Chains A and B, each alone.
Chain A
Amino acid sequence: SQKIEQNSEALNIQEGKTATLTCNYTNYSPAYLQWYRQDPGRGPVFLLLIRENEKEKRKERLKVTFDTTLKQSLFHITASQPADSATYLCALDMDYGNNRLAFGKGNQVVVIP
């Protein structure tokens, strides 16, 4: 089964700076990797999906990279805002191409005004 690691320590960052989160996985390389945002008391919200043959994906102030050699994805929030404060979850298909997802425990981001 897939094991996913995200930093358990909260990332405190000054408003306007770039926040960078890491997601590492073991075992096989997934067909795709996703990032979700979760606010307290709410369900996760989909942000970005990057496929195994893609190196980088962008959406507004968000950027995701995917290195299948390192088995790692980086998630960047540029020009961070206090509204970006949340927990960010990394998720991969549990079996190649299967839509069941395995999630990391998430990494909390706190943007300080």
Chain B
Amino acid sequence: GAGVSQSPSNKVTEKGKDVELRCDPISGHTALYWYRQSLGQGLEFLIYFQGNSAPDKSGLPSDRFSAERTGGSVSTLTIQRTQQEDSAVYLCASSSPDSRGETQYFGPGTRLLVL
């Protein structure tokens, strides 16, 4: 079966531009997470979607970051007016209610470089 997929795999952009990162979770997974991994740093939680509930946005570092999840499936993370410190790997994960939502399945990530 297909795992979590993310696109693009790599993105190079200029400072000040907006970027959109996409995540396709595993079919049937009700929870979806976005994390950021900077060089030499651990994964940093950004946002969490659970079913039809309001998303938990407590990890978003600034109001330039936003995310949405359409139809309970695909999610898009948008970064507006990108800054060089936004350069990182953005990882998406999903989890199934069958595992109490605890085990997370990660995609390969999108490597973002802001010049």
Contacts and interface: CB of A to CB of B under 8 A. Distances in A.
Q: Do A and B bind each other?
A: yes
A102 B35 CA distance: 10
Contact of B40 (A46, A94, A102, A105): A105
Size range of the chain A interface in the assembly: 20 to 34
Contacts of B105: 46
Given A34-B102, A99-B31, A43 B42 contact: no
Given A34-B102, A43-B93, A102 B107 contact: no
A89 B42 contact: yes
B45 A100 contact: yes
B25 interface: no
B103 interface: yes
B43 A99 contact: no
Contacts of B43: 44, 89, 91, 101, 103
B83 interface: no
Given A32-B102, A43-B93, A49-B102, A103 B108 contact: no
Contacts of B101: 99
Contacts of B106: 36, 43-45
Nearest to B91: A43
A4 interface: yes
Given A100-B45, A102-B45, A43 B103 contact: no
A59 interface: no
B56 interface: yes
25 contacts: A4-B42, A42-B108, A43-B4, A43-B91, A43-B93, A43-B106, A43-B108, A44-B91, A44-B106, A45-B106, A46-B104, A46-B105, A49-B102, A94-B45, A99-B48, A99-B50, A99-B102, A99-B104, A100-B56, A100-B59, A101-B33, A101-B45, A101-B104, A103-B43, A106-B42
Interface of B: 4, 31, 33, 35, 40-45, 48, 50, 56, 59, 91, 93, 95, 101-109
Interface of A: 4, 32, 34, 36, 41-46, 49, 89, 91, 94, 99-106
